[in-house]
Structure 1
Amino acid sequence: MNDLTLDRPSRRKRQRSRAELQNVTSITQKAVTALVLLASFGLVFAGLRMAGAGFASYQAEAFLQDWAGKGAEPSAEAWQVAQGAAQRAVSLYPVANGEYFDRLGRVYSWQQFKLPYGSPDALSSRLAALDAYRASLEARPVWPNTWARLANTKLHLALFDDEFKQALERASALGPSRIEVQREVTMIVFAAWAQLSKQERASFLESARRSVTYGQREAQQIQLLAAQHGLTGVLCNSLDDETKSIRKLCQ
């Protein structure tokens, strides 16, 4: 028996090992390719969902801008279309999107916004708005506009609880330079004046002072707002003489 005969089993083993290695490599490559394809499909699918969500959100925002310009409650048909678009934006986006939830809340807030505070006829839409704003703040907790809208919704529900007061505080503190936020906080505070403690009134009046110092036109609007709630004296007493002189208030 020569050496070639003795080496034949070893060669067969090496050949089997190479074949097995090639087979494993081929399987690994196929698995990696499959994973890459799956990931690519997932990214494409997520991208399509995000694009759809963006389009639906844009559609809802167009309705909101139209209603704001008219200052009137939307028709039932227009509201249904806007609500459907805002809900699709929320549902299609892969993760919780604070902006989209805020927009959904605004759509609900507009549905019956002219009905009186605490109206049972507006309870459903206002509670839906409240839930949407809460979801928005879970995703985006430092956005002052949403805090102000949550407080405004609680006002319309006539719910003057700790959540209401926290929302006012957060809106005022997080948006000191956002005049639209300070104006809304001032409006809410004046409307809910009887429900606030002396300390809370003094604290929240800071938003009124910020609004007054912003500019002459804003100052006049705040004075008019105070007068509507019988709080002109309160506003004037909270302002220093220099500010009243510059803004020509309380004269």
Structure 2
Amino acid sequence: MKFLYNKHNIIVLFVMVICLWGMYHGFRMGVADVLAYKAEYALKTWEKEKRLPNESEVGTAIINASSAVSWESANPEYMDLHAQVLLYKALLYWGDNKFDPISALSVELYQRSIKRRPNWPYTWARLALVKSYRREYDAVFYEALSNAVKLGPWEPGVHTTLAAAGLFGWSELNIESRRLVASNIHRGLRFSHSELASIIHRYRRKASVCGYVSVDEFSKSLCGW
């Protein structure tokens, strides 16, 4: 009886430990989710208003995003979010010596996120964008560009992000990559025509893009053929 009683106590204790672990893990996930939501809401606000945040706004968003990662360190979505916010901070220091180290952290976080979630096209596209802004048209950039197109050929967000990445560094790209960027834009015209046209106008690359795309109803409205 004593042996059975002790065995019963061990089982109860084991069940209690499992329950407590589950409660703690659920708590961590809940806290991380709330913090990530705050950072994501800020990002969406800046994107909707088409503006850069001020230092206070981006500082708060970075605290929330980095805290979400600290609570759930293996979550690739939070790493991606933190990287996005860091890029916004880096852009506040465009042309300043602070841009490089801040944007380098963004690159590092995107690469960590990709290791956890290698088939997510948006992270590849965002990695290509920050590499382009850093003017690093290397193997990492070309891999990001290629994988974003391959994994998200019909994703509107991938179309616009890669358009910005490719057109910003157009003069530095090889022929194959220019074709990849142009074909990505061409596919995206049926979903995000006005936004893509705006990006092309921003970088003054209408003639460049139109020289690579085939003639159809979507390219006609862009190129005026």
**Distance apart, 1:72 and its partner CA:** 2.9
> Any residues of structure 2 matched to 1:57-76 within 5 Å, and which?
57-76=36-55
Aligned-pair identity in percent equals 23
Matching residue of 1:34: 13
CA-atom RMSD in angstroms: 2.2
Between stretches 164-173 and 124-133, larger displacement belongs to 124-133
Q: Which has the larger radius of gyration?
A: 1
Aligned residues: 225
What residue identity is the alignment partner of 1:46? Answer: H
CA-CA distance at 1:227 after TM superposition? 4.9
Structure 2 alignment gaps of length 5 or more: none
Q: Secondary structure, in 3 states, of the residue corresponding to 1:238?
A: coil
Q: Deviations over 1:78-123 (max 9, x none)?
A: 2222111111111112x5111111111111011132554x753211
Question: Deviation of residue 42 (structure 1)?
Answer: 0.5
Aligned partner of 1:90 among 59, 69, 72? 69
Alignment of 1:13-32 (within 5 A): 22-32=1-11
Alignment partners' CA distance in 2, 1:49 and 1:223: 43
1:161 aligns with 2:135: no
Contact preservation (8 Å) 1:119, 1:157: no
TM-score (norm 1): 0.80
Cα deviation per residue 1:1-41 (whole Å; 9 max; x = unaligned)?
A: xxxxxxxxxxxxxxxxxxxxx22212211111111111111
Paired amino acid for 1:241: V
Match of 1:7 in 2: none
Provide the C-alpha distance between the structure 2 equivalents of 1:107 and 1:88, rounded to a whole number of angstroms.
13
| In the alignment, structure 1 residue 232 sits paired with structure 2 residue 206 | yes
Q: Which amino acid aligns with 1:109?
A: L
Residues 213 and 219, structure 2, Cα contact 8 Å, conserved in 1 = no
1:105-144 paired onto structure 2 within 5 Å: 105-113=83-91, 115-116=93-94, 119-144=96-121
Contact 1:101 1:132 (C-alpha < 8 Å) held by counterparts: yes
- Superposed displacement of residue 76, structure 1: 2.3
Q: Which residue of structure 1 lines up, in the alignment, with residue 177 of structure 2? A: 200
Residue 243 of structure 1: how far off its partner (Å): 3.3
The offset of 1:145, in angstroms, is 1.0
Q: CA 1:231–1:248 in structure 2 vs 1: closer, same or farther (change >3 Å)?
A: closer
Point out which structure has higher relative CO (alpha carbons under 8 A, 6+ apart): 2
Provide Cα deviations, 1:221-245, integer angstroms capped at 9, x if missing partner: 5455445545433322323333367
Query: Structure 2 vs 1, CA of residues 119 and 194 (structure 1 numbering), >3 Å: closer, same or farther?
Result: farther
TM-score under structure 2 normalisation? 0.89
| Contact 1:98–1:135 (8 Å) recurs in 2 | yes
C-alpha distance 156-23 of structure 1, shift in aligned 2 (>3 A): same
Listed as ranges, the gaps of 5+ residues in structure 1 are 1-21
Q: Give the equivalent residue in structure 2 for 1:19.
A: none
In the alignment, the residues of structure 1 paired with residue 13 and residue 112 of structure 2 have an alpha-carbon distance, to the nearest angstrom, of 37
Q: What is the rounded CA distance, in whole Å, between the counterparts of 2:14 and 2:222 in structure 1?
A: 70
**Cα distance, 1:152 vs. partner?**
0.7
Structure-1 separation of matches of 2:187 and 2:15: 55
Alpha-carbon separation, structure 1, partners of 2:77 and 2:58: 19
- How far apart are the structure 2 equivalents of 1:157 and 1:81? 24
The residue number in structure 2 matching 1:191 is 168
